[in-house]
A and B are shown apart, each in its own frame.
Chain A
Amino acid sequence: AQKITQTQPGMFVQEKEAVTLDCTYDTSDQSYGLFWYKQPSSGEMIFLIYQGSYDEQNATEGRYSLNFQKARKSANLVISASQLGDSAMYFCAMSVGTALIFGKGTTLSVSS
């Protein structure tokens, strides 16, 4: 069965520090994609970063990087130099067929 697990309900970090949000996945498919989305209190889902299962390099997008460890089936999100505006819910998601399967999310709180 396809499944995404995010074990950290909440994370706290100080401004300018780096933070890692954990994500593990389960699939028997060889071809899949992994996504991270940010959901602020306004409710919209904002795409952050994507990693394909065949991509050899870890994906990076500005302050976001995805630490992809295929053998361990993990796809952790690293946010460098946290900002107050990073406070939000973060979802890891996987695409195998036509739909995205989401984890339960991690709430990130950034303090000054």
Chain B
Amino acid sequence: GAGVSQTPSNKVTEKGKYVELRCDPISGHTALYWYRQSLGQGPEFLIYFQGTGAADDSGLPNDRFFAVRPEGSVSTLKIQRTERGDSAVYLCASSLTGGRGTEAFFGQGTRLTVV
């Protein structure tokens, strides 16, 4: 497809379980971002990839959260030992170069519910 694709669209998991959220960016986009959006809030930055490397992971809340982008395209956000407070919509975005004025294109998000 032409846009950013995120799978699954919805994920329900039990507290303590491990989850993986996938993002397929727009082809050719070198920059990829993960955000978390809680109900009634704006998206909160988690991590930024430029190519295969995490250029900025300052937004990851703790060491239960990890993300990879091994081939510079698809990215996976991994959450270990999930907690109820991790419930949110996880948004992925990509942009052509990641420069300051570059428009970021967002996927429709994965709604994670931890029960």
Contact = CB atoms under 8 A, between A and B. Distances in A.
A56 B59 CA distance: 32
Interface string A30-63: 0111010100001111110010100000000000
A96 B106 CA distance: 19
A25 interface: no
B42 A50 contact: no
B104 A47 contact: yes
A28 interface: no
Interface residues of A, number: 27
A103 to B, nearest CB: 5
Interface in B46-89: 48, 50, 55-56, 59, 89
Contacts of B41: 104-105
Contacts of B108: 42-44
A104 B106 CA distance: 17
Contacts of B105: 47
A91 to B, nearest CB: 5
A47 B103 contact: yes
The 6 closest A-B pairs by CB, nearest first: A102-B42, A45-B106, A99-B45, A98-B48, A44-B108, A98-B56
